[in-house]
Chain A
Amino acid sequence: MSDMSVDMKARNEEAGFGDYYALLKPRVMSLVVFTAFVGLLVAPVSVHPMVAFASVLFIAIGGGASGALNMWWDADIDRVMKRTQKRPIPAGKVTGDEAFAIGLTLSVMSVIMLWLASNLVAAALLAFTIFFYVVIYTMWLKRWTPQNIVIGGAAGAFPPMIGWAVATGGISIESLLMFAITFMWTPPHFWALALFMKTDYKDAGVPMLTVTHGRRVTRAHIFVYTLFLAPVTIGAAFTSIGGPVYLLTAVVLNLWFIKGAISIWRRDEQTAEADDYRVEKSFFKVSLLYLFLHFGALLAEAVLRPFGLGGW
């Protein structure tokens, strides 16, 4: 997806190691690492720390590799959107071809290494995650349908399932629920971002819900998805990975999240413009905390369990 001018620019400005690292979307990778780690740790089978460390690392590398492939394919729209203009390819630090080579190499390497470190199920899930994110979401859904983020959100939801598969070698209701938490959380999270990013997606020609159906509909969708999210997260409390700590966390966080969604739903564009999307920005930040604390609470249950405190 790179053009000649960008390639020339890239040659003139020497890329540092950090620029190549930035291709792997470190912030997204931190979410992958955390949720995969939780998925692995809450599983009923213990894993040797070295195997756990290596597995989470290879899951993170796989996630990062798909990020590099996403940047390779989306270089043209990243150049248009303010939020992504500083990424290594639009900034002219790294060429599209380099990003493609790094992404592909790390994808293959991470899947093989995860297989060797853990098992085939975990490796196959990682391979599918990379395929889903790069081909299904980036190449197909993102520029085609306003449901892009709804279906594409699955890619970011797989890491805890992979972590669980590393430990158990399979899939279960608990790992599916951990998948569902991130899957259902992704749309309201990104739609809140789309609301205060104003014209970014429109300028880039990405059919986000804000562009195709308007902001009023997007606000309503955020509210509805937040309502659907609540039973999924609270439901996980009644499985083998849940417990009172998680249940209390989930109830409080969902009340907080729904309250924020109602505020967004009730606002109109004029009010939002007047205070520079204060409520939408705040909801976005809360959404990050929401996911982190849910998985943190699952982790707390697992840590407390050996002392007879976690779980039911």
Chain B
Amino acid sequence: MALRKEHEIHSRRFGRNLGVGLTLGAFIAIIFGLTLVKVKFIDVAEAYKQDTGGIQSGAASE
């Protein structure tokens, strides 16, 4: 029996697969966009200072 390149399930599930593919693509795009925004527009140095402020001031007083 010759192997068929296109199985029936491929056409039957095309819509579902396309939907899942596009959803995953969109999810990746959102994560990428969020990462860019967080890196570019949020003051990382300021956030770091706030996060470690307690430790730094504690160390300074010793």
Which residues of A approach B to under 8 Å, CB–CB?
14-18, 20-21, 48, 50-51, 53-54, 57, 116-117
Q: Are A50 and B16 in contact (CB under 8 A)?
A: no
* Cα distance A278–B41 in the bound complex, in angstroms: 54
- SS of B interface (majority): helix
Q: Min CB distance, A11 to chain B, in Å?
A: 13
From the candidates A17, A53, A117, name the one contacting B16 in the complex (CB within 8 A): A17
- A14 contacts B30, CB within 8 Å? no
CB of A15 within 8 A of CB of B16, answer yes
How many pairs, one residue from A and one from B, have CB atoms within 8 Å of each other in the complex? 32
A48 and B41 contact, CB distance less than 8 A: yes
With CB as the reference atom, state the residue of chain A lying closest to B20: A17
B7 contacts which chain A residues (CB < 8 A)? Answer: none
Q: Looking across the interface, which residue of chain B has its beta carbon closest to that of A16?
A: B15
In the bound complex, CA of A308 to CA of B30 (Å): 34
In the complex, are the beta carbons of B16 and A51 less than 8 A apart? no
A20 and B23 CA atoms in complex are apart in Å by 12
**Is the CB–CB distance between B37 and A48 below 8 Å?**
yes
B48 CB to nearest chain A CB (Å)? 17
In the assembled complex, the CB of B12 is this many whole angstroms from the nearest CB of chain A, namely 6
Flag whether B24 is at the interface (Cβ < 8 A).
no
Chain A residues contacting B30 (CB-CB under 8 Å) are 53-54, 57
